[in-house]
Amino acid sequence: MGIRHKFFPELRILALPKQTIRDLDLSGKKVLVRVDFNVPLTKEGAVSDDRRIKAALPTLNFALEHGASLVLVSHLGRPSGKPEEDAAFRLDRVAERLQELLGRPVTKVNDTVGPEAQAASSTLAPGGVLVLENVRFNPGEKKGDPTFAAALAGLADAYVNDAFGTCHRDEASMVAVPECFPADRRAIGFLVEKELQILDTLLGHPKPPMVALMGGAKVSDKILVIENLLPKVERLLIGGAMTYTFLKAQGHPTGKSRVEADKLDEARHLLQLAGDKLVLPQDHLVSTSLDPSAETKVVAGTEIPDGWLGLDIGPATAAAYGELIKNAGTVIWNGPMGKFEDEPFRKGTVKVAEAMADSAAVTVVGGGETAEAVEEFGYAEKMTHVSTGGGAFLECLEGKSFNSLKVIPDR
């Protein structure tokens, strides 16, 4: 399966040898699809960003077009186990949005493996779509309980993993459930396949030169990623609050900026390991507080004044990073350049997104907040790929393998 890039129509990405939904006998079969519908909701409970639902549509439509019916399994949020608190994590509104996007009826039940789910599954005809209740409402999911897994697998004839954002989890629906099916009835969907193809290219044979941007709050979240990427990249550009842990590690004053004081040795290790590959901001947008209405100014150099905290890269840094992105062959970005949720602190993140959108490079945005940012700023469609996985994307960049994929047979 190749990917057609806006500037490189012939760009090809080698398919990984996992069995895909194309390899399954779908006609007349009930297919249990583990999707990632963990989408953000408004205060009123409506879906505020349906990107992950849309990302699953190619797999779902393929199965339906080939005569299957669907039993969909997803989590939403982090349920506490208390019914009153967990009501906000029910999948009713998600199922409503899926019905709109599919253009066909979608049935949603209020349990996962109970009588209601069993009854709905048993009467599911080809072309039918059933959404089970939030799988994390059942304690057997997080525990990987084999009894729960067997009951869930009993609702269908085949299993498809199309939930890349959860592939790094060893929960029941990701590992124990597929193990309940014969090997020739387990596969990955198109979304997982595409994510793996992109990552295979980034880690195996990226178009040079490769530039990586790492932002966000914590150095500790990116240590293994940085170590794994350093041999592959020409430059590693740093932004976000993690900047100030690096500056502190170099002995520079950081004012009130967020610093991981217990990670200074790790930051020094990365600075030494990276040498001139690691590029820190040359100027900073600083503020007197996190309040968007607080006073701000741009500070050049590596020293943050007392009483001020860094909340974004400065304009000179944004321009310099933009030039490096412009001249790159491959750009991978994970982590915003600043506190982009607030308008005064988002210019650096916007400028980086804009530079990537305008670049002739292969541009990959790695999940979580970064994906939300490029979506919000209107640049998502101009990227080669925007990953649906946050933690899974990062762990792949660290070079980790996942049990959820080990249980899917190779072709």
Give the tens place of pLDDT for each residue, 267-295: 999 999 999 999 999 999 999 999 999 99
d(CA 159, CA 137): 21
Task: Average the pLDDT over 213-221 and give the result.
Answer: 90
Query: Of 219-233, 264-278, 364-378, which has the strongest mean pLDDT?
Result: 264-278
On whether 215 is known to bind a ligand per the annotation, the reply is no
Nearest to 134 by CA among 58, 57, 76, 51: 76
> Lowest-pLDDT range, 45-49, 242-246, 256-260?
45-49
pLDDT at position 8 is: 32
Indicate the pLDDT class of residue 80, thresholds 50, 70 and 90.
confident
On whether 78 is known to bind a ligand per the annotation, the reply is yes
Does residue 6 register a pLDDT over 90?
Answer: no
d(CA 224, CA 79): 29
Helix (H), strand (E), coil (C) string for 365-410: ECCHHHHHHHHHCCCHHHCCEECCCCHHHHHHHCCCCCHHHHCCCE
On whether 181 is known to bind a ligand per the annotation, the reply is no
pTM of the model: 0.86
What residues act catalytically?
A: 52, 218, 368, 391
Beta-strand ranges (E) seen in 74-177 are: 107-108, 129-131, 158-161
CATH 3.40.50.1260, applies to 206-397: yes
Structure tokens given for 59: 């797999």
List the CATH code of the domain at 21-193.
Answer: 3.40.50.1260
On whether 243 is known to bind a ligand per the annotation, the reply is no
Does residue 99 register a pLDDT over 50?
Answer: yes
d(CA 111, CA 131): 10
On whether 75 is known to bind a ligand per the annotation, the reply is yes
Which residue ranges make up each domain of the chain?
Answer: 21-193, 206-397
On whether 227 is known to bind a ligand per the annotation, the reply is no
The per-residue pLDDT for range 192-204, each reduced to its tens digit, is 999 999 888 888 8
